[in-house]
């Protein structure tokens, strides 16, 4: 039996207002500027252009830190105090000009604002605002016409977590035994209970942030979660999920600590051809 399933939909519930408490992001031996953080959350993040694409159009963001350059090992962030932790993966659309510009703009916009999210409705509204920002950039001549990106993000608060996405970048929850997909794939074909399409993996997506020649409305997805201690969340671009199946992802998470799991999953994707940019973020709510 597969250890992977799609999370059932939950109704949105009002959360608490953001607390005015501050802490640090630990980045190697250097502390980044103060931002709001949550009780004992550790994040590992990696992004790489893969084995085929000439450059990286993915962007990963954790708090105020953001990267689209190749990383040979995961960056580690430790959050010690109360407040929201935000992680984002954005995958610039291949075949469109300035996908890297779109992914960096979206990741930066969302990472700077998602800490204030308290409901799934607010997450959906924020993604719609971000979509408008990309089209405004095109009108001003920034980037290129039709530039776009998929995105998946997670905000962890003291009272729970919210995962949000547009496109086919994914968010999973892993509780030590079962891998649950929290995101919904915007891909053609009928949807299975687990959020994937019934057809084989496809490079086509049905919506994105930007991606069209003129403004187009989107219908984002958001899912709330309890974020109990011991939970791990995985955010990734399709450079991982198109090549490495959910059962294999669950096995890597089950068998490895976070840094080793990120490295093992990256090696798995590269070993299977590394046909796309690869971005992996693991967020752990510690005991």
Domain ranges, ordered by start, for the chain:
41-285
Nearest Cα residue to 142 out of 103, 112, 98, 104: 98
Q: Tell me phi and psi for residue 285, to 5 degrees.
A: -90, 110
- Residue 229, number of CB atoms within 10 A of its CB: 10
**Mean of all residue pLDDT scores within the chain:** 86
Side-chain-side CA neighbours of residue 184 (13 Å): 21
For residue 39, the model assigns a pLDDT of: 58
What is the separation of C-alpha 29 from the centre of its chain, rounded to a whole number of angstroms?
25
What residue ranges in 177-287 does DSSP mark as E strands? 179-181, 209-210, 221-225, 232-236, 278-285
For residue 287, the model assigns a pLDDT of: 76
Rg for the chain, CA atoms, rounded: 17
For residue 195, the model assigns a pLDDT of: 61
Under 8 Å between Cβ of 222 and 13? no
Residues contacting residue 267 through CB under 8 Å, at least 6 positions apart? none
pLDDT digits (tens, 9 = 90+) for 131-172: 999 999 999 999 999 999 999 999 999 889 999 999 999 999
For residue 83, the model assigns a pLDDT of: 79
**What tokens does 140 get?**
């001003």
Domain 41-285 in this protein, CATH class: alpha beta
Please name the helix (run of DSSP H) or strand (run of DSSP E) that holds residue 222, with its range, or none: strand 221-225
pTM: predicted TM-score of the whole model, two decimal places: 0.85
Report mean pLDDT in 10-residue bins for the chain, 287 residues. 43 33 31 45 98 96 97 94 91 90 98 97 99 98 97 95 98 96 89 59 86 97 95 98 96 98 98 98 94
Rounded to whole angstroms, the Cα distance separating 97 from 208 reads 14
């Amino acid at each position: 039996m597969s250890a992977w399933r799609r999370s059932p939909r939950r109704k949105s519930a009002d959360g608490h207002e953001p607390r005015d408490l501050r802490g640090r992001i630990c980045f190697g031996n250097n502390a980044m500027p103060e931002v709001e953080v949550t009780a004992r959350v550790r994040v590992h993040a990696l992004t790489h252009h893969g084995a085929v694409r000439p450059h990286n159009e993915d962007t990963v963001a954790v708090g105020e830190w953001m990267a689209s350059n190749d990383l040979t090992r995961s960056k580690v962030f430790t959050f010690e105090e109360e407040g929201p932790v935000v992680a984002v993966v954005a995958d610039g659309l291949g075949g469109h000009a300035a996908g890297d510009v779109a992914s960096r703009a979206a990741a930066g916009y969302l990472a700077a604002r998602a800490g204030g999210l308290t409901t799934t409705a607010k997450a959906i509204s924020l993604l719609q605002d971000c979509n408008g920002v990309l089209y405004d950039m095109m009108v001003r001549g920034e980037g290129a016409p039709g530039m776009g990106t998929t995105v998946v993000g997670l905000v962890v608060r003291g009272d729970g977590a919210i995962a949000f996405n547009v496109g086919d970048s994914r968010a999973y929850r892993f509780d030590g035994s079962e891998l649950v997909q929290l995101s919904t794939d915007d891909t053609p074909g009928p949807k299975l209970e687990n959020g994937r399409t019934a057809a084989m993996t496809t490079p086509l997506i049905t919506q994105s942030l930007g991606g069209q020649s003129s403004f187009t409305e989107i219908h984002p997805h958001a899912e709330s979660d309890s974020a109990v201690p011991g939970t791990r969340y995985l955010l990734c671009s399709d450079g991982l999920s198109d090549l490495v199946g959910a059962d294999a992802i669950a096995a890597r998470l089950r068998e490895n600590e976070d840094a080793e799991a990120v490295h093992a999953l990256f090696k798995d994707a590269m070993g299977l051809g590394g046909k796309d940019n690869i971005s992996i973020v693991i967020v752990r709510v510690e005991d």
